[in-house]
Amino acid sequence: LTVVFTGDGAAAGSYGYTNSGYSVYEEENDRLTESLRSKVSAIKSLSIEIGTEVKNQNKMLAEMENDFDSTGGLLGATMGRLRTLSRGSQTKLLCYMMLFSLFVFFVIYWIIKLR
């Protein structure tokens, strides 16, 4: 059995084994690096999509706020008209309410009688 030594004191037979061990680690590091790169890319695209969605939601909320403001103005005007109506003749309003109540009563009576 003869062992040949290289210039750095390592046996010639183990030199190839050492290089192949390092290449396995390098390949695994490259694989893990690529996996990490793909995960970072996925997280980046997801965060960009979240940012876009937040901008769209903020825009929609601003539009809803404007719609609610205009609806509030319309409701205020309607309430003003109702106050004006209620200040008018109370007997006329009371008569309309009584006629409506009688109408509803007869409709309910008719529905119950048909069953």
Work out the number of other CB atoms within 10 angstroms of the CB of residue 46. Answer: 10
pLDDT at 36 over 90: yes
pLDDT (average), residues 16-35: 80
- Per-residue pLDDT tens for 43-97? 999 999 999 999 999 999 999 998 888 888 888 888 887 777 667 667 777 788 8
Cβ burial of 3 (10 Å; 0-12, 13-18, 19+) is exposed
